[in-house]
Amino acid sequence: MDKFTKITGIAAPMPLVNIDTDMIIPKQFLKTIKRSGLGVNLFDEMRYNSDGSERADFVLNQPAYRESQIIVAGDNFGCGSSREHAPWALLDFGIRAVISTSFADIFYNNCFKNGILPIVLPKEAVEVLMDDARKGANARMTIDLESQTVTSSDGQVFAFEVDGFKKHCLLNGLDDIGLTMEKAASIDSFEKRLSAERPWV
C-alpha cells in the first residue's frame, strides 16, 4: 500500500448527500477480486449514459476534474453495503482523500485499509472547501496527514482529527498484511519454538 503523507491536488466538488457504495461502484462490477481496473467504472451510473458515452455534466468527466485526487462530498459518504470495491475504485481512479461531514463506519475503515484518507470536518469547513473545489483545476488543496490539516487554495487551514493507529498505518503504507509482516521475525521465532517443542503438530 502506498504511503500517505502529504498531497496537493485538484478537489472535485460532489455536494450530494448519502452517496452510497452502489453509486460509487455498482454491483455488476463486484465480480473481480483485483484491486486494479475498477477506476473506469467509478460512479458508473452517474458518469455514463446507457450507450457508454460520458455524461458531460458529471464532475469527474469535466476537464478540470479528470485528474482529481480529492473529493469534497455531502453528508454520509459511503453508506450502503460494505463492499470493499468502493475504496478500490476510488483509489484506482486516483482519489487519495475524501472530505465530508460524516462517513458510514465500514466504508470509513475500509478507506484506511486501502490507502485513502477520509477526513471528517464540520459543515462550515466543508462548505468553504466545497466552494474552493468549484474553482476548478487551478484551485489545488493541500492535505498534510502529519500535521492533520487541510489547506484551501487561498490559504485557509482546517485541522482534522484522526485515530493515531490509523494515522500510523497510512503514514507508513501499512495495510493488514503489512502490519502482520512487521511481526515476521516474532512469528518465525514462535513457529521454530513450537516446532521444537511439539514436532507432532
Q: How many domains does the chain have?
A: 1
Give domain status of residue 37, yes or no. yes
Pairing of strands 149-151, 157-159: antiparallel
Angle between helices 164-172 and 105-113 (to 10 degrees): 40
CB atoms within 10 A of CB 43: 22
Give domain status of residue 66, yes or no. yes
What is the C-alpha separation between 21 and 107, in angstroms, rounded?
Answer: 8
Q: Which three cell numbers stand for residue 195?
A: 516446532
Give domain status of residue 19, yes or no. yes
Give domain status of residue 13, yes or no. yes
Say which amino acid occupies 15: P
Give domain status of residue 97, yes or no. yes
Give domain status of residue 161, yes or no. yes
**pLDDT, tens only, 105-156:** 999 999 999 999 999 999 999 999 999 999 999 889 999 999 999 999 999 9
CA nearest neighbour of 7 among 100, 118, 141: 141
**pLDDT, tens only, 30-86:** 887 777 899 999 999 999 999 999 999 999 999 999 999 999 999 999 999 888 999
What is the C-alpha separation between 47 and 141, in angstroms, rounded?
Answer: 24
Containing structural domain, residue 130: 6-197
Give domain status of residue 86, yes or no. yes
Where residue 160 sits, what CATH number does that domain have?
3.20.19.10
Question: What does the pLDDT read at residue 181?
Answer: 56
Q: Which residues of 108-122 are buried (b: 16+ CB within 10 A; e: fewer)?
A: bbbbbbbbbbbbbbe
Pairing of strands 70-73, 149-151: unpaired
What secondary structure does DSSP assign to 46-68, as a single string? Answer: HHB-TTSPBPTTSGGGSGGGTT-
Q: Give the pLDDT band (50/70/90) at residue 197.
A: confident
Give domain status of residue 1, yes or no. no
For residue 180, pLDDT beyond 60: no
